[in-house]
C-alpha cells in the first residue's frame, strides 16, 4: 500500500507537453541544422495545465516565425531546473498540474521573407 502511494505521488509530479512546430501559412521556411548560425533568438515560457494536456499561454513557434520574418528556423524545447521547480511547486499548491515549458525559436531573416 505504501509503495502504491509513493508511485501515485511520483506520477502526479510528471507531465508531458506538446509543442507544434509548423511554418506560417503560405511562407517557405526551411529547418536549420543544430550547428548553423542564426541571427535571431527568442526564448519564452509556455504554461500548461492538467499535466501538459492544455496550453494556458505562450505563443506557437509559427507565430514567432511570422512575427520575426524568419525564412530559416529551428525550435528547441528545453527542460531546465527552474521549469521543473516551478512545475513541482505549482503541482503541490494547485493539484491540477500547472507546469511551464521553455521554448527557444532561433532563425535567420533573408531576402524574400516578406
Strand-pair partners of 74: 106
Closest CA to 103 of 27, 48, 25, 50: 48
Give me the mean pLDDT over the 14-18 stretch.
65
Best CA proximity match to 64, nearest among 16, 109, 32? 109
Q: What is the largest CA-CA distance in the chain?
A: 64
Q: Taking the CA of residue 59 as centre, how many other CA atoms within 13 Å lie in the half-sphere pointing to its CB?
A: 17
Residues composing the chain: 114
What is the C-alpha to C-alpha distance for residues 7 and 61, in angstroms, rounded to an integer? 35
Mean of per-residue pLDDT scores for the chain = 81
* pLDDT tens digit sequence for 43-74: 999 888 887 788 888 788 888 998 998 989 99
Amino acid at each position: 500500500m505504501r509503495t502504491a502511494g509513493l508511485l501515485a505521488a511520483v506520477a502526479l509530479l510528471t507531465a508531458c507537453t506538446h509543442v507544434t512546430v509548423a511554418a506560417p501559412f503560405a511562407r517557405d521556411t526551411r529547418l536549420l541544422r543544430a550547428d548553423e548560425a542564426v541571427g535571431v533568438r527568442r526564448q519564452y515560457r509556455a504554461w500548461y495545465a492538467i499535466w501538459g494536456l492544455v496550453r494556458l499561454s505562450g505563443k506557437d513557434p509559427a507565430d514567432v516565425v511570422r512575427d520575426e520574418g524568419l525564412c530559416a528556423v529551428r525550435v528547441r524545447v528545453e527542460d531546465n531546473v527552474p521549469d521543473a521547480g516551478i512545475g513541482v511547486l505549482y503541482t503541490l499548491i494547485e493539484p491540477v498540474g500547472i507546469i511551464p515549458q521553455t521554448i527557444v525559436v532561433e532563425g535567420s531573416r533573408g531576402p524574400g521573407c516578406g
